[in-house]
Structure 1
Amino acid sequence: MTTTDTDATAVTPELVVLLDEDGRAVGTADKAGVHHADTPLHLAFSCYLFDGEGNVLVTRRALHKRTFPGVWTNSCCGHPAPGEPLEDAVRRRVGQELGTTVTDLRLVLPRFRYRAEQEGVVENEMCPVFVGSADGAVAPDPDEVGEARWEPWEAFRAGVLDGSRAVSVWCREQVAQLPADPVSAATADVGDLPPAARVAGRR
C-alpha cells in the first residue's frame, strides 16, 4: 500500500485520562470530544506562576476556545497525557501556552476537584494545583490565550474572594483554598494526589 500525504500528516489525538470517583484511571478519551453536557470525570492540573515581585500571571482564555471562552483565570491549565508525570505536563503546557519555562514548581493543592458549566459545556476534573516561577518573558499562544497580565497577588486574591474580580469557577475555588502566600507554602505530599496522578508521577 502506498502511504498518502494525508496518512503522513495525520494528527495523533490528544488523550485525557478518565477517572472513577476514587481517582483511579479507567480509560482515556480524545480531548477534542471529551467536553460536552455530560463530561466524564478526568485528570487535569492548574498552575499559578509568580514573578520576583509577588505578582501572579493571570490569563484570559481565547474567545474561540470550546470551554469557558473569554474567561479570566489562573496562569495555565491542562491535562496530562496517559502515563505523563504531572510536573512534566505542567512544564510542557506552560511552554506551549505561555512561551516560557517554569522553575521552583511545587504541588500545593493535591486534592482539588471541581465541576463547572458554561453554555451547556461542562468541566469535570480532579485538578491538582501547582505554583511556580516564570523563568523569562511570557509570549502567550493566541490560539490558547487572549490576554495575559501580571497582577499583585494580594490584590488579585482579595478581589477573587470578595467577588469583585471575575474569574473562572475553578480559579475562584482554588484561590479560596490556596494559602495567603502560595510562594512560601510548603510542598504538598504527592501521596494525597488521585491514584491516577500518583502513578503518572513515578519516574
Structure 2
Amino acid sequence: MPTTPVTLAHSSPSGLGPVSAEEPIMLELVDEAGVTIGTAEKLAAHQAPGQLHRAFSVFLFDEAGRLLLQRRALGKYHSPGVWSNTCCGHPYPGEAPFAAAARRTYEELGVSPSLLAEAGTVRYNHPDPASGLVEQEFNHLFVGLVQATPLPDPEEIGETAFVTADELAERHAAVPFSAWFMTVLDAARPAIKELTGQSGGW
C-alpha cells in the first residue's frame, strides 16, 4: 500500500498558490464510467437534480481497529452537524483522487495517514432532505491508518470520535449521519476488512 505524503498547503486548482476566499471551487464532472467530461462550480453541481462529479471518501483506523468519525461543523452549507466518515471531499479538476484525499485529510484533521490505500469506487445519487442539495457522485474510496492525534479545523469539523463496529451501529441508530455514509462504508468494507483483520469486528 502506498504511503501518504504530508501535505502542508491548500493549493489552488491551478496549483499556483493558495485558494483565495473569492476563487470559486470547481469540481470535475464525469460520465458514468468516471471519465472526465468538464467542470462545474461546487454549489451548482450539488443543486437538484445534481451533476455527476468526482469525489473521494476516506476511512482511517487506529491501531486498535477503531474507525475515526467526524461530525461536520454546524457552519457547513451542506449536511451540517451530522456524523460521517473520516474525511470526504472533491479533487480539484486534474488532481489525482489519492492526492486530494491526502491533502484534504490534513486540511480538515491536521494529521496525515501513516498508510492510505485505494479501496475501489462507488457511484450514487443521494438527495439531502434538509438542504435540498443532491450528491450525484463518482466516489473514489480510500482506507488507511492514523497514528497521530487529530487536530480538527473547527470550521470543518465539530467533533471527532474513534468507534468500533458495534459502537458505530449504536451511534448510527441514535444520531443523524450523512446521507452518503452507509453507501460509502458498505462499498469500502472489503478493503476495511483486509486492512483491519479481526480488529474492531468490521
The two structures have a TM-score, normalised by structure 1, of 0.77
Aligned partner of 1:89 in structure 2 is 100
How many Å apart are 1:155 and its aligned residue?
1.4
Superposed, 1:17-166 pairs within 5 Å as 17-108=28-119, 110-118=120-128, 119=130, 120-152=132-164, 154-156=165-167, 158-159=169-170, 163=173, 166=176
Aligned partner of 1:192 in structure 2 is none
Q: Is the 8 A contact 1:58 1:75 kept in 2?
A: yes
Q: Is the 8 A contact 2:57 2:139 kept in 1?
A: yes
**What SS does structure 2 have at the residue aligned with 1:149?**
strand
**What SS does structure 2 have at the residue aligned with 1:127?**
strand
**What SS does structure 2 have at the residue aligned with 1:64?**
coil
- The one-letter amino acid of 2:105's match is V
How many Å apart are 1:131 and its aligned residue?
0.6
Aligned partner of 1:194 in structure 2 is none
How many Å apart are 1:53 and its aligned residue?
1.2
Identity %: 37
Aligned partner of 2:7 in structure 1 is none
Asked if residue 14 in structure 1 is aligned to residue 25 in structure 2, the reply is yes
Aligned partner of 1:184 in structure 2 is 194
Q: Is the 8 A contact 2:70 2:157 kept in 1?
A: yes
**What SS does structure 2 have at the residue aligned with 1:138?**
coil
Q: Is the 8 A contact 2:55 2:137 kept in 1?
A: yes
Q: Rg bigger for which structure?
A: 1
How many residue pairs end up in the alignment? 175
- The one-letter amino acid of 1:103's match is S
Q: Over aligned residues, Cα RMSD in angstroms?
A: 2.4
**What SS does structure 1 have at the residue aligned with 2:180?**
helix
The two structures have a TM-score, normalised by structure 2, of 0.77
How many Å apart are 1:12 and its aligned residue?
2.9
1:157-202 Cα deviation digits (max 9, x unpaired)? 54488x566422221122233336716349xxxxxxxxxxxxxxxx
- The one-letter amino acid of 1:173's match is T
Q: Is the 8 A contact 2:144 2:195 kept in 1?
A: no
Q: Is the 8 A contact 1:160 1:172 kept in 2?
A: no
